[in-house]
Homo-oligomer: A and B are copies of this chain.
Amino acid sequence: MPVLGHTQYGKAEVRVVRVYRDREPHEIADHNVSVALSGDFTDTHLTGDNTRVLTTDAVKNTVNAFAKEAGDAARTPEVFGLELARHFTGVPQVSRVRVGIETYPWRRLEHAGTPHPHAFARDGGHVRTTTVTRTTGGDEWVTSGVTGLVVLKTTDSEFHSFYTDRYTTLAETTDRVMATEVTAQWWHAEPPGDWNASYPQVIDTMTSAFAGHHSLALQQTLYEMGTQVLTAEPGIGEIRFSLPNKHHFLLDLSPFGLKNPGEVFHADDRPYGLIEGTVRRDDTTDPGPAFDPGQGW
C-alpha cells in the first residue's frame, strides 16, 4: 500500500536586500534565502487538511521581517540563518528547519578618487553560501561555503602514471593548464569568533593552497586545499568539495606550421571531469545533518 515518506516544504529564493542607511557610509546585504520545514505535515498530504500548514507566504514574510528585526545580524548570513531557524523551530508542528542562503558580494564604487558612501558594484567573482540546520531539540549545524569560484594555473600541474584499460587513449603530461570552478562547503564544529572574518580567511587559504601546490592530480589539489583549510581554522570539522575539471585542451597548430608549447588552448564546455571529496578532522564528531539537504536526491 502506498504510504507517505519523508516530506519537507517552504519558500525558496526570497531575494531580500537590506540597506543600512543609519550610518555613513551606507552598507548593503544582499541575500537569496530558502527555507525548508519538516515536521508533522501528514494531514495536508493525505486529506488536504491545512490546519498545521504554515503558509510559504508567511515564510517569505518572516524572512523579510527578520531582515528588519535582526538589525545588524542580517549582515552576517550565518547569524541571520540562525535567527530564522530558531524562529521556525518555534512553530509547534515543525521538527526540523533548514535555512539556505546565497549572499552576493558588492564592492564600493569610487567617485572623484574616493570611496562613495552610497554606490556599489556587484562583485561577481563568487557567491558565499550558508546553511543552517536546526531541530526542535535545539541542536544546530552551520555550514559556510562558496560557489562559482573559478581558478586556473598555467603550469605546476602534471597528470601521468595512471591506470590504463582498453578504453584509455589519454597522453601523459608533465605540464598542463589546470582549472576548476570551486564549490565547497565547510561545517563549523565550533563557531568562529567572527563569521564575516572567517569566510574570506577560508577563501584565501583555499586559493593560496591552489596557487602554491604542485599538482599531480586534481584529487591531490583537492586534498591539499581541504587540509590547509582545516589546519588554519581549528573550528572547522569537515569540508566538502565539488571540483569540475574545466578542461583546457592544447591545440594542435602544426597543420598551420606553428609550434604550440603550452600557449594556445581550447576551453571546452562538456564533458568535464568531476572530482568530489571530503576532508575531515579525525577527532571531530559526526557532522550529522549538516550537509543533508533533506530530500536526499
Closest chain B residue to A160 by CB distance? B50
The answer to whether A219 and B256 have CB atoms under 8 Å apart is: no
Which one, B28, B41, B65, contacts A167 given CB within 8 A? B65
Closest chain B residue to A50 by CB distance? B162
Chain A interface mostly: mixed
Counting contact residues on chain A (CB < 8 A from B), the size range is: 35 or more
Distance A216 CA – B51 CA, assembled complex (angstroms): 12
Closest chain B residue to A56 by CB distance? B273
The answer to whether B170 and A149 have CB atoms under 8 Å apart is: no
The answer to whether A294 and B276 have CB atoms under 8 Å apart is: yes
Which one, B28, B159, B295, contacts A240 given CB within 8 A? B295
Question: Which residues of the other chain, B, contact A216 by a CB distance below 8 angstroms?
Answer: 44, 47-50
Which one, B119, B275, B292, contacts A210 given CB within 8 A? B119
A127 to chain B, nearest CB (A): 9
A213 to chain B, nearest CB (A): 9
The answer to whether A208 and B58 have CB atoms under 8 Å apart is: no
Once A53-B217, A292-B296 are accepted as A-B contacts, the answer to whether A45 and B273 lie under 8 Å apart by CB is no
Which one, B7, B16, B110, B120, contacts A266 given CB within 8 A? B16
The answer to whether A272 and B13 have CB atoms under 8 Å apart is: yes
Distance A122 CA – B7 CA, assembled complex (angstroms): 26
User: Which residue, of A93, A242, A256, has the highest number of chain B Cβ atoms within 10 A?
Assistant: A256
Contact with B along A17-40 (1 / 0, CB 8 A): 111110000101010001010000
A169 to chain B, nearest CB (A): 5
- 27 residue pairs of the A-B complex, CB under 8 angstroms, read A1-B282, A2-B282, A5-B240, A8-B276, A11-B274, A12-B272, A15-B271, A36-B274, A36-B276, A45-B217, A48-B216, A50-B160, A51-B161, A51-B162, A58-B169, A61-B256, A109-B151, A110-B208, A110-B211, A122-B150, A124-B126, A125-B125, A240-B295, A269-B270, A276-B295, A291-B297, A292-B296
